[in-house]
Amino acid sequence: MDSIIVTGNGPLSGQIPIAGAKNACLTLMPATLLSEEPLTLTNAPRLSDIKTMTTLLQSLGAEVSQLQDGQVIAMSSHDLDNHTAHYDIVRKMRASNLVLGPMLARLGQAVVSLPGGCAIGARPMDLHISALEALGAEIELKDGYLHAKAPGGLKGTVHELRFASVGATENTVMAATLAKGTTVLKNAAREPEIVDLVRCLRKMGAQIEGEGTATITIEGVDQLHGATHPVVTDRIELGTYMIAPAIAGGEVECLGGKLELVQAFAEKLDAAGISVEETDTGLKVARRNGRVRAVDVKTEVFPGFPTDLQAQMMALMCTAEGSAVLDETIFENRFMHAPELTRMGADIEVHGGQARVNGVERLKGAPVMATDLRASVSLILAGLAAEGETRVSRVYHLDRGYENVVNKLSAVGARIERVKEA
């Protein structure tokens, strides 16, 4: 098992290229199941989760090839020979449930194991199930698997999600593209990854309007065709690397970054004393004079502050001037990084879904353990601002969402290396 060692080394300077979005790519890949014709994705991130989705699609009979060093994914689902997504694959990644809607729409049946992923909360499937049942699906839970069928095909409907769930929105939109008639999905999630999915589906021949708003309208078509589509920039990786010069000092340009992807996050950085400037090639981020100022944060669905940047923001607030309150409203178990940051000298009090961070002058390097994907990178960021050496273990979580972290941070002056544990 690998660890990452970070040694605080002062200000950072240079450029960091931002990859295609993991969460967008994991949503786009199952879209291949909707068509017999090829779907090609460019600007794909090279991550272990992408490999897991590749394995899952191949297990269903899809052909999946990674080209150009993994940055192009060529897929074809012309000859699907299996409609069961087995537990041994699905348990590794929450996004595996996104094969449910497409298989149900095209094949009229699907058997999908209840999913896994990071241990940050229950994240139930009830929102997916109720939406697909509204489209006419019959779904039963047996032995840990969702058994879904639509023998007469799916039918358009009007359905309102109880919560603006990203995954439920994605599953429902994909399923509705091949349903008979018109589907109106209310209280839909508005994340950029959903907008990106709709743009891809539209290239495949889907008739969809309203992406990026709370109401999405889908007019079902008989079939979809092939397409080529670039994966949108990863706004979570973007926000993560924007924190790097904020916490360590210096100035870094995040290549490919766009302010519209991280508006709420950038506003909090500005309030904390961090300059964010759009350039022709990305976003330039620099810490202004003096210590970072403490700012309160409340995670919300898009366009609010992303829950996937909460851990990174907590790391920044550890050395801020004053006290910051972080309210986590999306997941009920997402402060597992707090005890690890405390090992580095942070002053953090957690009460249920709220954490108070009292800023300290300096963190101190320590051995810490990653508990989930975003927690792992928050500990690396904290290490950039710490005195001495920080060793982050269990970094296999990191590989699910960040490619080449060591290379990207080393290129802007960080002292960081990946080592094999004895």
Six-digit token string for 380: 């690396």
- Is residue 118 part of the annotated active site? The answer reads yes
The active-site residue, picked from 118, 200, 254, 318, is 118
Q: Which residues are annotated as a binding site?
A: 22-23, 94, 123-127, 308, 330
Residue 351, C-beta contacts closer than 8 angstroms, at least 6 positions apart: none
Six-digit token string for 234: 């990863």
Q: Which residues are annotated as a binding site for phosphoenolpyruvate?
A: 22-23
Q: Which residues are annotated as a binding site for UDP-N-acetyl-alpha-D-glucosamine?
A: 94, 123-127, 308, 330
Catalytic positions, please?
A: 118
